Structure formats: C-alpha cells, structure tokens
Chains A and B, each alone.
Chain A
Amino acid sequence: MEIESGSELSPNAQRAAELIRDQIAVRWPAGHVEIALIELQRRRQQRRYAAAGATLSVGAVALALALGFGQSVRELVPARLLATVAPRMARPVAPALVAEPRPAPPQRAAEPASAAPGHAAASEAAAPVRGHLLQERLVPRRQVAAARWVTLADERRFGEAYGLLRQVPMKNLSEPDDLLLAADVARQAGRPERAVPFLERVVAEHPREMCAQLAGFSLGKIYLDNLDQPALAARRFADVRAMAPAGGLAQDALAREVEAWARAGETARARDGALEYAHVYPHGQRLAAVRDLGGI
C-alpha cells in the first residue's frame, strides 16, 4: 500500500486538521504552572504513601479527625501525611486547583531550594484564588499565535514561527527575552531587517540591562552585514562600548566599529578606532585585522 497516495488529505480534511492545529492550544501562565506543580507533588506523595501501605493509617487518622481529636492528631501525625488525608485541616487556606482571579507569579528567586518551604511560598501565592486551575485557557487565534511562535522557535521552526510572530501585536512583546527571541526568529527566517525594530526596542527600553549590549551588537551586525549601512552600524557598535566599556562585547564592538568606519569611508575615524584598539587590547585577537582596516 502506497502511503503517500493513499493518505493524501482532501481539502476539507486538510482544513479541519489545520483548524485543530492552529486553534487548539493551552496557555499556562507562570503562576498556574507553579500551582499545578504543587498539585503534582501532592499526587506524588499520595501515590507514595499508598504504595507503602499507608492507606489504613490514613483511614485511622481520618476517623480520629472526624471524631474530634483534630488537635491531638496534628501533634502526632507528620504534616505531610496529614495533608494527604485532610488537606483542608492541614492547609486550610491553600486549595491546590485554582484560577480566577489569576495569581501573580511566585517570586521564585526568593524561594528556598528545599521542597517544603517552596510549597509554602507557592501555597501562599495560591491562597486568595478559587475555581478551576486551567479554566478558560482556550484562547483566540491571535493569542494562540502569541503562545505558539515561541514553541516553534524553540523547535527551530523559524519560518513558521515568523509567520505567527507577524500576527502578534508589537505592544504585546515587552520582555527583553521575548524581543530578543523575536529578533532571532526574524533573522533566522531570512528577514534580518524585520529584526531591527525588536532590537531597537531592547536598546531603548532596557538600556541598563546586559541584553541591551547584545541587542546593540546585533543591530550593528545587521546594519553592517545585511542592510549595508556601515555608518549606522559603527554608531551602534560605539553604543555597545559606551554601555559597558569593560564588558564582554567591548573588544569585538570596537573591532567591528573600526571595520564599519572603514567601509563607510571614514578613514580618520577608522584610524582613531584602530589606535584605540591597539592601545587598549595590545594582544587582542583582532589586532592584525584592525591595524589593516585602520591603516596603522
């Protein structure tokens, strides 16, 4: 049986498959992931206890609680075990499955590394909310695009990711990582000129962060290598050095600045740059090339 001929989709079937693929997606905001993780841990514990034959003990504890010996039981029974049988008594204000209003993402950096305190912090974050955990996560097409382009980019399917990225309003991208990823997607999809607005925003909106140096350097490369605007590129490379004169990109930025000035026909500036490079980085890897470009 020949698969390629036998399984070709009719237009209707093709359309239906595309609908399913493009329309059905689940978005998990960061806060929900944390809460779902708590639920996962809780289930894991439950299974472990069950496997260890703790079911009978749990029943006994539940009976004791039902008979009003709650305080004594709390003193005698480990908190984790109590949580499996009587979660409301053990954790009275922290339902595991919740959604509306959505909780703010927990401050992960402040969480201790151990599991138990992490539980507590995330439970507190979950405390004020009620409802169903992943309620109404089915989202409109534009939001699906917003969620899916990142996944496609992670899978290195840059062409498809760029197609979806174009449907995402620019204002929806604000985090520097998202902007840098969007720029990467545009470049990898063969549209480096489309990466420029994303990178310009990183430089403009996050000038004090390290990513601004990376964005500035990428801008310089795009202006120099793809858009044939060496003077603009040289200024971008100079900006990178100004952001962090001792930063990891400073040496490369200076070398590329010399190259850009040379290509722009600004021989005096190229020479100044080359002299500075030779002075600051006397053993720099690009010294020979920089000398050549700067005419020194």
Chain B
Amino acid sequence: MSQPAQKPHLRLVPPGAEPPRDDDAPPADPKAAVEEAFRRYAPLVASLGLRITALRDDIDDFVQEVFLRATKGIGGLRHQGATKAWLVSITINVARQRLRVRKLRRLVGLDVPIEYEELVDPAISPEDRVMLTRMYRALDGMPVNQRLAWSLRHIEGERLETVALLCHCSLATAKRRIVAAQKIISEAVG
C-alpha cells in the first residue's frame, strides 16, 4: 500500500517558460552562472563554512571569498551539474586557509576567542553546550588537515572517498587523519 514512488513528480511549466537546464553543458555566461550558484548554494556554503570553522563573525566574508574564487574558475567548469561539488571543494579550501590563519594569529596572540555556545540555539541544555564547546576546542587544538578530515567525515557525513578528494590526499592519508583527530576528540569529550 505504501510503495514509494521511483522518482519525484514532474513539475508543470507554464507555456513559454525557459527550457530545462542542461546540466551536462558548460555554463554559457560565467557571470550569470556564478550569480545563480550564489542564490542556490550560498546557504550551503555558509552553513558548511560555519560548522567547520565556527568563525561566526567572518562568515559573510567567508562566503564572499568562496564565490570570488568561483568567479575565476566557473568558466572552466565543464558540467553545470558539478557546480555544487565544486563549490564544496572551494569551501573546504577557503576553510583550510582561514583555519591556518587563525592558528597563526593565535600563535602570535592576536586571536579573538570564539564563544562557541553562541553558535547554537540558546534553548539547548547546558550539558550539550559544554560538550559543544569542548568539541570545538579539541578541533582547534589539532592540525587543520586532521580537523577538516574529521569534520567532513563525522559532521558532514561524507564518504571516505569524498573526504580524501576534498582534502587533496590519498584515502589512506584521510583515514590516518580521521583516526588521529578521533584520538584527540576522545580525550577531550570522553
């Protein structure tokens, strides 16, 4: 009785509407393609960036940086259907850079402490807040590449192959980084 349909509904399109987009084609107008990608994926980029870096105050700038980099490369994108994965890849690169800069700033005493508890709904329990803070402090304390690999695997739920791809490393290296990060996290949050 409750059999799931095999594919989603077709949507009605008014007469004269634009034909469906060919996702296998490269973008015809790079500028328009970036704007469309921005409208569609800016929330995804912002959320992903915020979860990975926790740099709440810089998130506007973060998103702008991702799409500025996208502006340069979108003309070379061969398939529009790959835009999302490509933007995620840029997001990870920008996150890596930002996290490294932050580590450097911390090293020279210029870093501004982040109130991790402010990242979440004030209504969540105090225990959860403490756990969240410990988690982010543990992530702050580990090498950036380990942090990225662990976050992609366990927060974003990516497959190991995807983690390796996004981290520009081999599968074995990605696994090693995740395991190393896991040890630090286990010590921090129990």
Q: A192-B2, A227-B1 are in contact. Are A44 and B71 (CB under 8 A)?
A: yes
Nearest A residue (CB) for B183 = A6
Q: Is B135 an interface residue (CB 8 A)?
A: yes
- Stretch of A23-31, A81-89, A262-270, A281-289 at the chain-chain interface: A23-31
Q: Are A226 and B64 in contact (CB under 8 A)?
A: no
Q: Is B128 an interface residue (CB 8 A)?
A: yes
Q: Is A72 an interface residue (CB 8 A)?
A: no
Q: Are B38 and A33 in contact (CB under 8 A)?
A: yes
Q: Are A7 and B60 in contact (CB under 8 A)?
A: no
Q: How far is the CB of A209 from chain B (nearest CB, A)?
A: 9
Q: Is A21 an interface residue (CB 8 A)?
A: yes
Q: Are B38 and A151 in contact (CB under 8 A)?
A: no
Number of A-B contacts (CB under 8 A): 160
By a CB distance below 8 angstroms, the chain B residues around A20 are 51, 132, 135, 155
Q: Are A19 and B128 in contact (CB under 8 A)?
A: yes
Q: How far is the CB of A131 from chain B (nearest CB, A)?
A: 12
- Stretch of A61-69, A180-188, A272-280 at the chain-chain interface: A180-188
Q: Are A3 and B160 in contact (CB under 8 A)?
A: yes
By a CB distance below 8 angstroms, the chain B residues around A144 are 121
| Whole-angstrom CA separation of A17 from B190 in the bound complex | 13
Q: Is B167 an interface residue (CB 8 A)?
A: no
* A4-52, CB < 8 A from B: 6-7, 9-10, 12-13, 15-17, 19-21, 23-28, 33, 36-37, 39-40, 43-44, 47
* B144-190, CB < 8 A from A: 153-157, 160, 175-176, 178-179, 182, 185-186, 189-190
- Stretch of A134-142, A165-173, A231-239, A253-261 at the chain-chain interface: A134-142
Q: State the majority secondary structure of interface residues on A.
A: helix
Interface residues on A, range: 35 or more
Q: Are A13 and B175 in contact (CB under 8 A)?
A: no
Q: Which residues of B contact A (CB under 8 A)?
A: 1-5, 8-9, 11-12, 14, 31, 34-35, 38-39, 42-44, 46-47, 50-51, 56, 59-60, 63-64, 67-68, 71, 118-121, 123-124, 128, 131-132, 134-135, 153-157, 160, 175-176, 178-179, 182, 185-186, 189-190
19 further A-B pairs in the complex, CB-CB below 8 A; given A97-B60, A188-B4, A193-B2: A3-B178, A3-B179, A10-B186, A12-B190, A13-B186, A16-B134, A24-B51, A28-B43, A28-B46, A33-B42, A37-B35, A44-B68, A141-B124, A190-B4, A192-B5, A210-B14, A213-B12, A228-B1, A248-B12
